[in-house]
Amino acid sequence: MKKIIFSILFLVSFFVISTEHKVLANELPVDSFINENTEIIYADQIEIPNNGISPNAVENENYYPGTKTLMKIGDVLYSSKSLVTSTKIVGHVGIVGPDYRIYHVNPVDEVAGKRDTVETYSSRHGANETIYIYRPRSGGQGAADWAAYAYSYAKVYDIINLQPLNTLSPNYCSKFIWQAFFYSNSGDITNLSLTGSSTAFVTPGHIKNASIFTNVGSFNTK
C-alpha cells in the first residue's frame, strides 16, 4: 500500500514540475503577438555601418534617360501619378543611392522595398510620364546611404493602417524618403515638426515641396 501511495505522489509531483515550465498562449506578452503577426520593423533600430556603403559607389557616368543631366547620389525622383497606375497614392518618390540605383517602396511584388536601375524604375511608370529630379542642397549622401541599407527591411506596403513614422515595415514611398533624411540626421524635411513617434501621412507632395530640394530637370518615360 505504501508503494502505491508513493507512486501516486511521485506522479503528481512530476506533473506539477513539468507543467510549471509550460507557457500558455494567452499568457504571452501582447507585444509578442503584435511583433510576430504584423512584422513591424522600426527605423530607429536600423543603423548603417560606420563607413556607410559609399565605397561601393561607381564613378558617375550615369545620365538620366534622354538628358544631359548627371545622376547625383541623393537625388529624389518625383512623378505625379493617378491612383490606377503603379502605386496606390497620387505621386511617387524614390532616391538615387550610392550605387546609382533607385531605392523606393511600392506595392508591386512580394517585398515592398525596391532597388532598381533607372531604366527599371522608369518602366514601372506609364508611357510618356514625366519624372522630376529634385536635388538636396545637403544631406543627400547620408540619406542615400541610409536608404540603400534599409530598403530591404521595408517588407510590407501599407498606407491604410498608419503606423508611427519610425516603422520601416509597413511602409510606403514618401514615408521611406522622409525616413532616409530624418534618420541620417537631416531632420524633418517637411518642416511640419514630425518625429519618428508621429503618426502622420507624409505625401509625395510634402517631399518634393521641401525647402531642402531644388528641381534640376526632368525626363520622360517610354
* The pLDDT of residue 56 is above 70: no
- Would you say 44 and 89 are in contact if contact means Cβ atoms under 8 Å apart? no
pLDDT category of residue 129 using cuts at 50, 70 and 90: very high
pLDDT of 35 over the 50 cut: no
Domains, in order of start, for the chain: 73-219 (3.90.1720.10)
> What's the whole-model pTM score?
0.77
How much of the chain exceeds pLDDT 70, in percent?
Answer: 73
The reported pLDDT for the residue numbered 41 is: 79
pLDDT single digits (tens) 74-94: 999 999 874 344 445 679 999
106: three-class secondary structure by DSSP: coil
Contact 64, 217 (CB under 8 A): yes
- Spatial distance between the Cα atoms of 133 and 219, rounded to a whole number of angstroms: 8
| Weakest-pLDDT range from 62-76, 78-92, 123-137, 203-217 | 78-92
CB 74 within 8 A of CB 95: yes
Q: What is the reported pLDDT for 120?
A: 95
Average pLDDT over residues 87-106: 89
Q: Is the pLDDT of residue 13 over 50?
A: no
Q: Is the pLDDT of residue 33 over 70?
A: no
**For residue 10, what is its C-alpha cell?**
511521485
Region 30-46: what's the mean pLDDT? 55
User: Which pLDDT does position 59 carry in this prediction?
Assistant: 57
Q: Give yes or no for a contact between 204 and 78, defined as CB atoms under 8 angstroms apart.
A: yes
Using pLDDT thresholds of 50, 70 and 90, give the confidence band for residue 167.
very high
pLDDT of residue 49 exceeding 70: no
Assess contact for 212 and 142: CB atoms under 8 A: no
Is 50 exceeded by the pLDDT of residue 28? no
Nearest CA-CA partner of 123 in 57, 58, 65, 68: 65
